Structure 1
Amino acid sequence: MLGVVAAALGGPEVLQVTELPEPEAGPGQVVVRVRAVCVHPADVAATTGQIPRGPDVPPFLPGWDIAGEVASVGPGTADFAVGDRVAGMIPWYTTRGAPGGYAEFVPAATDWLVPLPDGLDFVSAATVPLNAQTAHQGLSLVSLAMLPAGSSILVTGASGGVGGFATQLALQGGYRVLAQAGHDDEQWVHGLGAHEVIPRTVELPTVGPVAAVFDAVPVGNAAAAAVEDRGVVVVTRPTPDFVPARGVRQELQLIRLDRGLLADLVRQVAAGRLRTRVADTMPLTEAADAHRRVLAGGLHGKIVLTVD
């Protein structure tokens, strides 16, 4: 089978299309014939060494989110059958690319996967697991602050994957959502239902004060400046420049795989209760070019690699 491996740490040029042994499903596993795999900034961070791999060194496979069909089932595995449509998240924080999603076939534990409802295509499904779970779990940290219904939440990066889901899920939670949109993305964010859309050019300290910020970019201190005293800022990666003041605290959201939550989020996307978007699809073999486009920025949606 073909896979795309990071042969070394570095930029997109380290990604190489390679012939790999086809995996076999072990106990409690299936092999997924991958039809779509989402390209995340986390994949770029992995290949550049920003996500540490401990003592391990390349080669490894990037890729968290996959959608496809069950190709084979391991001994004693009853959750899925050959031919079932599935979507799932490889917990890359534990696999470190063995396996990763940039391959034609991926061995996967059954608790990484959920059924893919009829009517939801592989490409759209592949954009859901990492982003939507991160958004939901980050909002749970906001909820721990015991905010009353109707409290205002500012979402930065609302036109991105995590921020877009955070905007929609915060609305479902009964919050008043102020959403910061990227360039030329105001209409998309309006369509998500945000109460107020804030252009990226607006200085965040002039916004609010709000009870909480879901800082999906993240922008750090600028976001904290929009929070009321003793408010909370949820960030999706560490912001070393954060300086605690006025009782404002920062909570770091690190993704954890939750199969029940993932199944619910996928069903919501399939039913149209949550929206996602795809900027472009590219063949798996063009993964290096996909990484270049992610690094260049300016995408309106996710890039998804497809396998015929």
Structure 2
Amino acid sequence: MLGVVAAALGGPEVLQVTELPEPEAGPGQVVVRTRAVCVHPADIAATTGEIPRGPVAPPFSPGWDIAGEVVSVGSGTADLRVGDRVVGMIPWYLTRGTPGGYAEFVAVDADWMVPLPDGLDFVSAATVPLNAQTAQQGLSLVSLAMLPAGSSILVTGASGGVGGFAAQLAAQDGYRVLAQAGHGDEEWVHGLGAHEVIPRSADLATVGPVAAVFDAVPVGEAAAAAVEDRGVVVTTRPTPAIVPDRGVRQELQLIRLDRELLARLVEQVAAGRLLTRVAATMPLTEAADAHRRVLAGGLRGKLVLTAG
């Protein structure tokens, strides 16, 4: 089978298409024929070695989110069968690329996958697991602050993957959402339920003050300047401490796999209650060019690799 591996640490040029042995399903595992795998900034960070816990020694395969069909089932796997359509998240923070999703077939723990509803296509489904779970788990940290009903929350990067889901979920939770987005994305972000869309160029210190910030980019201190005293800031990567702290609670949201949560989120996307968008698809064999496009910026939506 064909797969894509990072043969060294570096830019997109380190990604190589190669023949890999077809995987076998071990106990509690399934082999998935990968139909779609989402390209994330985390994949690029892995190839450059800029990830938590330090770089992974090459060769390894990038790829967190896959959607496809079960082609074989290992012993002790009860709830998935050959032919099932599935979507899921390879917890790359644990696997460190063994496995990764950039391959035509991947052996994964059955607990990493959830059924894919008939109304949701493989490509759209592959944009959901990492982004939507991060958004929901980050908003759970905001809810710990017991904010009054209707409190305002600022979401940075609301036209992106995590930020787009965060804006929608926050609006569904009853927050008044101020969403920061790039030029040309205003209509999309308004459609996610944002009450107000703020230009990316805006000085966030002049916004609010808001009770909470979901800093999905993250931009760090610039976003924290919008939060009120004793408010809460949630970021998706480590950022410096707020100075002065003003009693602001800072929380770091790093993804953790939650199968039940993932199943609920996928169902919401399938039902049209949560929106996602795809900027483009490219063949798996063009993964290096896909990384170049992500690095160049300007994509409206996620870039998804397709196989099979």
TM-score above 0.5: yes
CA contact (8 A) 1:53 1:96 kept: no
Deviations 1:166-190 (A, max 9, x none): 0000011111100011121111101
The Cα of 1:246 is off from its aligned counterpart by 1.2
Partners in 2 of 1:258 and 1:61 — Cα distance? 22
**In the alignment, which residue of structure 2 is the partner of 1:287?**
287
Q: Which moved more, 1:199-208 or 1:243-252?
A: 243-252
CA contact (8 A) 2:181 2:189 kept: yes
Letter in 2 for 1:172: Q
The Cα of 1:226 is off from its aligned counterpart by 0.4
Cα distance change on mapping 1:53 and 1:151 into 2, 3 Å: closer
Letter in 2 for 1:149: A
TM-score normalized by the length of structure 2:
0.98
**In the alignment, which residue of structure 2 is the partner of 1:227?**
227
The Cα of 1:9 is off from its aligned counterpart by 0.4
Alignment of 1:1-308 (within 5 A): 1-52=1-52, 56-240=56-240, 242-308=242-308
What stretches of structure 2 of length at least 5 have no aligned partner? none
Task: Tell me the SS of whatever aligns to 1:264.
Answer: helix
Q: Which moved more, 1:244-253 or 1:128-137?
A: 244-253
The Cα of 1:249 is off from its aligned counterpart by 2.2
CA contact (8 A) 2:49 2:56 kept: no
The Cα of 1:42 is off from its aligned counterpart by 0.3
Partners in 2 of 1:128 and 1:66 — Cα distance? 9
CA contact (8 A) 1:61 1:102 kept: yes
The Cα of 1:64 is off from its aligned counterpart by 0.1
Partners in 2 of 1:208 and 1:218 — Cα distance? 18
Letter in 2 for 1:166: A
The Cα of 1:247 is off from its aligned counterpart by 1.1
Task: Tell me the SS of whatever aligns to 2:136.
Answer: helix
Q: Which moved more, 1:296-305 or 1:49-58?
A: 49-58
Structure 1 segments of 4 or more deviating over 3 A? 52-56
Deviations 1:223-267 (A, max 9, x none): 111000011110000113643421112110000000000000000
Task: Tell me the SS of whatever aligns to 1:34.
Answer: strand
Partners in 1 of 2:53 and 2:46 — Cα distance? 8
Letter in 2 for 1:14: V
CA contact (8 A) 1:46 1:52 kept: no
Deviations 1:105-150 (A, max 9, x none): 0001011000000110000000000000000000000000111110
Q: Which moved more, 1:247-256 or 1:58-67?
A: 247-256
Task: Tell me the SS of whatever aligns to 1:120.
Answer: coil
TM-score normalized by the length of structure 1:
0.98
Deviations 1:21-69 (A, max 9, x none): 0000000000000000000000000000001565851000000000000
CA contact (8 A) 1:235 1:253 kept: yes
CA contact (8 A) 1:30 1:71 kept: yes
